[in-house]
Amino acid sequence: MSFLDRFLPLWIALAMALGLALSVFAPGIASALHAASIGSVSLPIALGLLIMMYPPLAKVRYSQATKLASDTRLMVVSLVLNWVVGPAFMFALAWIFLPDQPELRTGLIIVGLARCIAMVLVWSELSCADRDATAILVAINSVFQVLMFGLLGWFYLQILPAWLGLDTTSADFSLWAIITSVLVFLGIPLLAGAVSRILGERIKGRKWYEQRFLPAISPLALIGLLYTIVVLFLLQGPTVMESPWAVARVAVPLLCYFVGMFALALAVSKAAGLDYARSSSVSFTAAGNNFELAIAVSIGTFGATSGQALAGTIGPMVEVPVLVGLVYVMLWLRPRLFPREGVQ
């Protein structure tokens, strides 16, 4: 592992601390970053995510990735976990832990509906997962995000609570915000990665592309991740620090969700006969969430100062350190759960 990879938890902790410190001691920076947005898209966060996602997507062999769509086990396991189990699990946790906090509870449910299409590429890369499988799963999640987000929001905020005799919440989600999130945070880096591979192999050859170009751009993924974490904590630090009790109450079900979904996805993937690389791809895809979409939808629907927006903000602050920890757990489990595959 490189020096940056080896001490990643330390760099992430320092990035969080730096973001919080800047939010307190240099609030003018946060104000300037807040102003740098187009519609619901924060340009500083978008920049970090695009830099972070480009190297993993440039490494994908797209001719191989498209063939994975015919892997029935992979597709069925991932789709069921992401679009049936995940939202239902978050709904249950939201009502168990936040029965008296309707705004935070709604925000948490929205986080559960926003399936991961960005950071999972970094977790996949760090855990030595199947990057081609991760890419195709992310692409499929993006399509389902556009088609299913509003429908599932209506079901989990109005229909299911009414069936169970619980309070309901009215919400009119912006389809444009959902489409924008998918196009910006997946479409742009996906296009850049595909064009890089096509042109790189055509002009310089596959050997040069994979042995020279890809190693040169690989550090950008973690640099983009650390930058994004600094910006997130800088932008949301004041809101979080003003509501420590709310942060704690939302953090507990989020922790249960990330760990629970990861463990369940890993168990189901192994039981379905998937190898380590694809099991890892499925597990991180199922456990992660599209925090940018959740925050944008919450702000657009309920307002920037709402409890729903606060819950969306807390999401990545819990997700990042937890999933980094799960990367190391997965690497530790690899020879124990998949002993016959060996470790390269």
Question: In the chain, what are the domains?
Answer: 8-334 (1.20.1530.20)
Dist. CA 95–CA 99, nearest whole Å: 5
Q: Which residues contact 46 (CB under 8 A, 6 or more apart)?
A: 184, 185
1: pLDDT strictly greater than 60:
no
Higher pLDDT, 242 or 86: 86
Long-range contacts of 145-149 (CB under 8 A, 24+ apart): 145/114, 145/115, 145/117, 145/178, 145/181, 145/182, 145/290, 145/293, 146/175, 146/178, 146/179, 146/182, 148/83, 149/113, 149/114, 149/173, 149/178, 149/293, 149/297
Q: What is the pLDDT of residue 65?
A: 65
Instruction: Classify residue 311 by burial, with Cβ atoms within 10 Å: 0-12, 13-18, 19+.
Output: buried
Residue 67 banded pLDDT, cuts 50, 70, 90: confident
Nearest to 45 by CA among 331, 326, 313, 328: 313
Q: What is the pLDDT of residue 89?
A: 97
For residue 117, give Cα distances in angstroms to 48, 59, 62, 197, 301.
Answer: 14, 16, 17, 20, 21
For residue 172, give Cα distances in angstroms to 140, 151, 289.
Answer: 24, 10, 20
Dist. CA 84–CA 88, nearest whole Å: 6
Dist. CA 124–CA 68, nearest whole Å: 16
Higher pLDDT, 7 or 116: 116
262: pLDDT strictly greater than 80:
yes
- Mean pLDDT, to the nearest integer, of 122-137? 88
4: pLDDT strictly greater than 90:
no
- Mean pLDDT, to the nearest integer, of 179-190? 78
Distance of CA 257 to the CA centre of its chain: 13
**Could you tell me the pTM of the whole model?**
0.83
- The 10s digit of each residue's pLDDT in 151-172 is 898 899 999 999 999 998 877 7
Higher pLDDT, 104 or 36: 104
CB 274 within 8 A of CB 73: yes
- Mean pLDDT, to the nearest integer, of 57-62? 82
Q: What is the pLDDT of residue 342?
A: 55
Dist. CA 81–CA 267, nearest whole Å: 12
For residue 309, give Cα distances in angstroms to 107, 112, 161, 220.
Answer: 6, 14, 21, 29
146: pLDDT strictly greater than 90:
no
Higher pLDDT, 280 or 1: 280
Q: At what angle do helices 307-337 and 8-25 cross, to 10 degrees?
A: 170
For residue 117, the tally of other CB atoms under 10 A from its CB is: 28
Dist. CA 312–CA 99, nearest whole Å: 17
Nearest to 81 by CA among 317, 279, 250, 296: 279
Residue 305 banded pLDDT, cuts 50, 70, 90: low
Range with top average pLDDT, 117-126, 179-188, 255-264: 255-264
Which SS3 state, helix, strand or coil, does residue 130 take? coil
- For the ranges 194-198, 226-230, 250-254, 264-268, which has the lowest average pLDDT? 226-230
- Mean pLDDT, to the nearest integer, of 81-103? 95
Q: Which amino acid is at 147?
A: L
173: pLDDT strictly greater than 80:
no
CB 29 within 8 A of CB 22: yes
For residue 2, give Cα distances in angstroms to 6, 218, 219.
Answer: 6, 11, 9
- Mean pLDDT, to the nearest integer, of 318-328? 90
Q: What is the pLDDT of residue 2?
A: 61
Number of residues that this document lists for the chain: 344
Q: What is the pLDDT of residue 256?
A: 97
Q: What is the pLDDT of residue 40?
A: 63
Q: What is the pLDDT of residue 35?
A: 83
- The 10s digit of each residue's pLDDT in 269-292 is 999 999 999 999 999 999 988 877
- The 10s digit of each residue's pLDDT in 212-259 is 999 999 888 888 888 988 888 887 777 777 778 888 999 999 999 999
Percentage of residues of the chain with pLDDT beyond 90:
37
